[in-house]
């Protein structure tokens, strides 16, 4: 029996184009100035050092680091220091009202209903915990943060690694089989299933399909059929 739900964000409860066409270009546009301005603050310096390690260039200059980060944005690399920096950069965009966090209407209805009915909700996204909380704080539906018990990002590991799901479940008061993981990406669902979680795929934007996981096109299907 499912006692808790962990949801992905992009492609599952948020439109992919909001991330790719709004958030990523905003981060790319503001990243050079952000890095130049904040490179010596401890929070940013830690991430820049992590970039230097990943590109195997401990002496990398600010422009070289910026180039690496912009390349990762272009290729949608789920690299932890990039994701941490993006969260910091998006903060200004949300606070200035440049955009609000997109949430599908059926996802808002589903999450609100599950929360009201007492099912604990968790988030696991490649976006940093800060980025997740900003998206929910400034969502199309107002501040959704009270719906969620806890947030996880790639600091627990990559979303295609079964170990990441083991690590998350270890932090929850449920067994793996009591937890449902929602995602649009087969490899993430495969990893969660290997770790013993129940899985459900969202097919919203023509994502690849798999016979291994139950699938729905939106949450109205879940609520009417309880898939």
Ligand X SMILES: CSCCC(=O)C(=O)COP(=O)(O)O
Residue numbers of the site for ligand X (CB under 6 A)?
Answer: 8-11, 19, 23, 78, 83, 86, 125-127, 131-132, 135, 159
Cβ-based nearer residue to Mg ion, 11 or 120: 11
Query: Do the Cβ atoms of 125 and 86 come closer than 8 Å?
Result: no
What sign does the CA torsion over 215, 164, 126, 66 have?
Answer: negative
Q: Supply the minimum distance, in Å, between the C-beta of residue 126 and ligand X.
A: 4
State which residue, 8 or 153, has the beta carbon closest to Mg ion: 8
Binding mask 99-118 for Mg ion (x = CB under 5 A): --------------------
Within the chain, residue ranges assigned H as helices are 16-18, 24-38, 42-54, 62-74, 80-95, 105-116, 129-137, 162-170, 186-194, 219-225
**Is 11 an interacting residue with respect to Mg ion (CB under 5 A)?**
yes
Q: Which is nearer to Mg ion, 51 or 202 (CB)?
A: 202
- Our finding on whether 93 is near Mg ion (CB under 5 A) is no
Q: Which of 4, 6, 7, 10 is in the footprint of Mg ion by CB under 5 A?
A: 10
Three-class secondary structure of residue 216 per DSSP: strand
CA distance 21 to 5: 28
């Amino acid at each position: 029996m499912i006692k808790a739900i962990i949801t992905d964000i992009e492609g599952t409860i948020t439109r992919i184009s909001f991330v790719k066409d709004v958030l990523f270009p905003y981060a790319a546009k503001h990243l050079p100035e952000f890095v130049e301005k904040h490179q010596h603050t401890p929070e940013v310096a830690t991430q820049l050092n992590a970039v230097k390690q990943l590109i195997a260039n401990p002496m990398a200059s600010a422009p070289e680091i910026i180039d690496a980060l912009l390349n990762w944005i272009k290729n949608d690399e789920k690299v932890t220091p990039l994701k941490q920096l993006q969260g910091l950069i998006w903060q200004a965009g949300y606070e200035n009202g440049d955009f609000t966090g997109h949430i599908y209407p059926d996802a808002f209805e589903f999450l609100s209903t599950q929360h009201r009915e007492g099912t604990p909700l968790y988030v696991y996204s490649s976006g940093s915990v800060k980025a997740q909380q900003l998206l929910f704080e400034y969502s199309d539906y107002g501040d959704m943060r009270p719906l969620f018990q806890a947030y996880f990002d790639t600091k627990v590991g990559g979303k295609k690694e079964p170990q990441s799901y083991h690590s998350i479940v270890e932090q929850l008061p449920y067994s793996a089989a009591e937890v449902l993981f929602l995602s649009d990406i087969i490899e993430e669902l495969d990893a969660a299933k290997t770790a013993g979680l129940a899985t459900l795929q969202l097919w919203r934007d023509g994502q690849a399909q798999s016979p291994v996981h139950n699938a729905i096109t939106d949450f109205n299907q879940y609520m009417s059929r309880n898939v």
